[in-house]
Amino acid sequence: MTNPNRPPVPSAGLAPGGLWPAHIPRPQAPGAPIAARPQRTQAPTKRDEPQATGPQDIAQARMPWTGVQWTLIYVGFLGYVLAVTTYRLPIGDISMVVALLGLLTQRDRFRVPGLLVGLGVFLTWCVIGYVVTRDPGLVWDRLQIVGKLWLIGLVAANALRTREQIRFFLVWWLACFAFYPVRGAIFNYYIYHETVVGRASWNYIFSNPNDLAAYCILMLGLALALLSLERRGPVKMGTIAGLAMLPFLILLTRSRGAFLGFAVFLLLVIMGHRKRIQALLATAVLAIIVFSVAPPDVLNRVKGLESVESTGDLKDADQEGSAYQRFEIWKVARTIISDYPITGVGLGAYPAMHARYARRSQFDPTALGRRDTHSTYLNVTAETGFVGAFIYFFSYISALLSINSVRRRVKKDLPHTSQSLFVFLCGVLGFFAAAVFGSMAHVSFLALTVIVAWCMSEVARKEVEKIEADRRNAAFGRAPQIDARAVPV
């Protein structure tokens, strides 16, 4: 006889409170809710924290090559950047052939940024200038160079499709620039004592101190953009070291134009930073460190401009007479522009035309010879006319405005990516400020920097579109979309 006050003891393998086996679900009445089995909860650990759903705004991997898709076009593009930045291996042409083969055989959607559309129109206008120029041989040579630059930009736009690829490329490019132009210029200055009138320089396209300093401004933008996306680890530490060396090298070049561009870059970064006071303090500490180790006379060329205000004579601005010579060259350039306002003298034909004009008695003999304009704005206008200058600068302005519109759109959901795009733009604007005193319109560094920023904006735009679509689907009770990170853009 059983005791009615004792609850029945369940047998092994049977559900508590009855004879139904525990591993077989009970049949439910139609419409009755099915009770969910209780789940054992576990407190999240630090290892689990980075595994968040949705787009990652900060890099989670310590090593830069983690998660990179090594496509043929990507590998060829990396080889080209290595060749044109370090000049250690003659693989530039081979790398471009490999990259173009990868471009033709890729399975992803073909991409042509708006910047390349505008530069393509500019290149077409330069072909018209080739027909009417007095120096067709010089124009033809420069047309080939600018055409290759356009193809390089096309390769870059199609090679950089994911966050991981962009991250590794930034590390790769910054490392190439640090170990060769930066290291080489500092070694030349302190060890070999090979300078240009006391100004730091390297070789090849970095042999001009003004150009080297302007490239450093672009690299500063890339370094800060990478730093905005790094959480911790060797990439972040190396980037911080680069942020100290690049301003130091700009000081050693003693480039007045680069000082202006660097000041514009620094002002924009501080004013637009999310933590303005922190950015200002960090800049002050960095400035104290840089100026404490820099030579005491690095600012003498800038201080020389004070004598121009008092005496009005540019000859007193510096010992080598650079400011006065540039002013006389600009006078020749303005005269050429007034004589060829529509088509210009032809792309790449300005030095030959300058040599003809400088013989006139109205110009000082210091401007004689095949000179450059020493100004990007005067150079583009003199060689391609006001029409070509409008097409060229409008292409870059529209590209920067497009990137900035994406930056503003992703600011709420991807704040670190938005900050990264912002410093990209600051670096380009600082470069254009320095370009007032240097002819750097058709250099690969400028075009590649803008296209890399465009690739980052495309990745961010796709991720934000996915986030916004998930929010709409959640509002209507739909399933979320596929993660945008798994689909190349």
| pLDDT tens digits along 325-356 | 888 999 999 999 999 999 999 999 999 999 99
Q: 426 near 265, Cβ under 8 Å?
A: yes
Mean pLDDT of 382-388: 97
CB 485, CB 163: distance < 8 Å: yes
pLDDT at position 288 is 74
- Give tens-digit pLDDT for 228-239: 999 888 999 999
Q: What is the DSSP letter of 11?
A: P
pTM of the model: 0.83
Query: Cα separation of 485 and 489, whole Å?
Result: 9
What pLDDT is recorded for position 54? 43
- What is the C-alpha to C-alpha distance for residues 421 and 226, in angstroms, rounded to an integer? 10
Per-residue pLDDT at 249:
93
Query: For residue 140, is pLDDT > 60?
Result: yes
Percent of the chain past pLDDT 90, that is, above it, reads 62
d(CA 338, CA 422): 37
Return the closest-CA partner of residue 218 out of 184, 187, 250, 195: 250
pLDDT score recorded for residue 155: 97
Helix 444-475 and helix 136-159, axial crossing angle in degrees, nearest 10: 30
Cα–Cα distance for residue pair 262/224, rounded to 1 Å: 14
**59 — phi, psi (to 5°)?**
-60, 130
Domain ranges within the chain, ordered by starting residue: 72-480
pLDDT (tens digit per residue) in 71-118 = 999 999 999 999 999 999 999 999 999 999 999 999 999 999 999 999
pLDDT at residue 320, rounded to an integer? 56
